[in-house]
Amino acid sequence: MKRYLLLILLASVAFICATAAPETQTAEAIDARWLKAHYTKSEYMIPMRDGVKLYTAVYTPKNKRTKHPILMQRTPYGHSPYGKKSTNIWRNKIFENYLRAEYILVFQDTRGRWMSEGDFINVPPYIEHKTGTKAIDEASDTYDTVEWLLRKIKHHNGRVGVYGNSYCGYYALMAAASGHPAIVAVSPQAPMVDWWMGDDIHHNGALAMLDIVSFLPALGTTTRKGPTSENEPFDPPIIEGEVGEFFMQNTLADITRKVDGRVPLWEDIISHPDYDAWWQARDARRALKRITSAMLLVGGTFDAEDPYGVWEAYRTLKEYNPELDCRLVVGPWTHGAWRGNGDANRLGEVEFSEESLSQFYRDEVEFPFFEQYLRDQGQGGASATGALVFFTGENCWREMDEWNTENYKEQRIYLTEDGALQSEVSELKNSYSSYISDPSAPVPYYPDIASRRKSDYLIRGQEFVEDREDVLTFLSPVLSEDMIVAGGITAELFASISTTDADFVVKLIDVGPNGETEMMVRANIMRGRYRNSFSEPEAFTPGKVERIEVNLTDVAHTFLAGHRIKVQVQSSWFPLFDRNPQQFIDIYKAGKEDFIPSQIKIFHDAEHPSAIRFNVM
């Protein structure tokens, strides 16, 4: 049975909280002085099973009359400022509930990062641990840390919660996979799950160039000589000057020369262009069998960094652990926006709520979840029924037993020869739309590509590319009733190209009444050479019509009556993703002369009915 929590109820919840707990309005503000009066910060080097010691900061309540739950985060990004007398955790509102409730807060630098010893390995393969094993991975490091905390830290209640966003969300998944019996509640937020299929580094084999090249220095460099409280130097920088111009002037081979062996991960990326055993071993879903910790997975609809992981981790956990309390909360947020001090209730020119959605998340979602499992307090908050997902368009939360859209009605809209979208297959023969994809003039992902990636690109209207000859646009009739789209979206394209490789970008767009507003609902890219297998790429035969599926990450959106659906198809998305030379060659070694134009034909006839598939509630 589905239940719906409308936006008006969100306002009611906020009102009830404010009137039911007036003491929170008059409570002493949490600042550096308050923290010093109520907490003690300690720093430890905790030994792992192989002798490597990990830096760990522990904030312990000064109240010794009761026992306190432990809440832990493991991070590769450091817990600065270091030193027993230095802290700034009070500045982030996400910790306020936990500080007032007197949780023991633990922050650990992961192996080989900042003040911790050892060698840093990005997402090492999960090892299924057996009693007495000396093998190490992030799950074993979590297990050993919890064992030490339970022995050495006083006045705890024996229960541990773990949370983390992004890379730290991956570490939270590994905490659950560790199997430590004291870890009873885990919240992976925007977790990295698969760096090749859809998180951070690649989408369906295409390199997320703008983000990953910008972020490389933060992912472990050869300059590290040992534990340090300072940023590791990285000079000269990789990207210099205007971003768009830099990526036009530099191929991936040029970037490899600029990295110059300083980032081991880059060497791994260029050595494994396909979805081979190396990437598959690093798929976090491998670790999600036999999970016993209650799980709260959190994500953002407009998360540009890790849009894939939260949905896939949830599905995998539900499949492998059907009896587990596994919850899903997805809001209209960018990467980790729910954890910030802002309201997280708008993006770009779109406002989703007059209320603070980040406060709603702090007070009604995350804190009640940990209270339920770490202190037996309350009923678990707004996520307790299973899945709480914000549907854009109508701008409301929908509360349901679980996120399972497979039983909803599948609908297809077909691309047609006159730039329209229709519900029936065309009766025409040999009908197609075509364009020339030219790597020397790629389609921009945003009007401004001179600077770093814009956080609102996933919601921005696409009018700025409407008139380009290398972008195909298809538009539906005006909708006579609301259309509620939930779950994954698949673009099934029938295409031929004049070269041996090409990319395919598909965008789903909500067009407001009279075309006065546009909002991109979802978009993704597919590297054509992987159309039949992600592990074994294949060249195209020029002129041969082939079927290509472009999978778009899950969506929760209502196209309102009076609106129209727009679909755009193109073959570059620059510099968000690397340019395809449009030849079946090693892209990481391609020179400037290897990038050539390709004629792309998208067919929409009776034999080749290109369409968009999605589920309608």
Residues 6+ apart with CB under 8 A from 166: 189, 190, 191, 192, 305, 306, 335, 336
What SS3 state is found at 61? strand
| Domain topology for 3-19+32-194+282-400 | Rossmann fold (3.40.50)
Instruction: Note whether 184 and 373 are within 8 A (CB).
Output: yes
Instruction: Note whether 284 and 313 are within 8 A (CB).
Output: yes
Q: What's the whole-number mean pLDDT along residues 468-492?
A: 97
Backbone CA torsion sign across 590, 593, 594, 595: positive
Give residue-wise pLDDT tens across range 413-460. Answer: 999 999 999 999 999 999 999 999 999 999 999 999 999 999 999 999
Residue that has been written with the tokens 């080749």 in this structure: 608
The pLDDT assigned to 17 comes to 28
Looking at residue 339, its amino acid is R
The pLDDT assigned to 407 comes to 83
CA distance 178 to 288: 10
The pLDDT assigned to 406 comes to 84
The pLDDT assigned to 231 comes to 85
Which of the two residues, 250 and 516, has the higher pLDDT score?
250
Looking at residue 46, its amino acid is I
Is the pLDDT reported for residue 15 higher than 50? Answer: no
Give residue-wise pLDDT tens across range 302-322. Answer: 999 999 999 999 999 999 999
Instruction: Note whether 192 and 173 are within 8 A (CB).
Output: no
Torsion angle defined by CA atoms of residues 530, 532, 538 and 539, in that order, rounded to the nearest 10 degrees? -90
Residue-wise burial string across 239-276, b where 16 or more C-beta atoms lie within 10 A, e elsewhere: beeebbebbbebbbbebbebbeebbbbbebbbeebbbe
The pLDDT assigned to 28 comes to 86
CATH number of the domain at 409-616, out of 3.90.180.10, 3.40.190.10, 1.10.10.10, 2.60.120.260? 2.60.120.260
Instruction: Note whether 200 and 208 are within 8 A (CB).
Output: yes
The pLDDT assigned to 128 comes to 81
Q: Which of 93, 52, 94, 57 is nearest to 78 (CA)?
A: 57
State the DSSP H helix or E strand holding residue 26, giving kind and residue range, or none if neither: helix 23-26
Instruction: Note whether 229 and 114 are within 8 A (CB).
Output: yes
Give residue-wise pLDDT tens across range 146-191. Answer: 999 999 999 999 999 999 999 999 999 999 999 999 999 999 999 9
For residue 232, name the pLDDT band (cuts at 50, 70, 90).
Answer: confident
Give residue-wise pLDDT tens across range 239-275. Answer: 999 999 999 999 999 999 999 999 999 999 999 999 9
The pLDDT assigned to 131 comes to 53
Instruction: Note whether 304 and 457 are within 8 A (CB).
Output: yes
Task: State pTM to two decimals.
Answer: 0.94
Give residue-wise pLDDT tens across range 349-401. Answer: 899 999 999 999 999 999 999 999 999 999 999 999 999 999 999 999 999 99
Domain ranges of the chain: 3-19+32-194+282-400, 409-616
Q: Which of 299, 382, 300, 342 is nearest to 93 (CA)?
A: 342
The pLDDT assigned to 610 comes to 98
Crossing angle of helices 167-177 and 309-320, rounded to 10°: 10
At 280, list the tokens: 């598959």
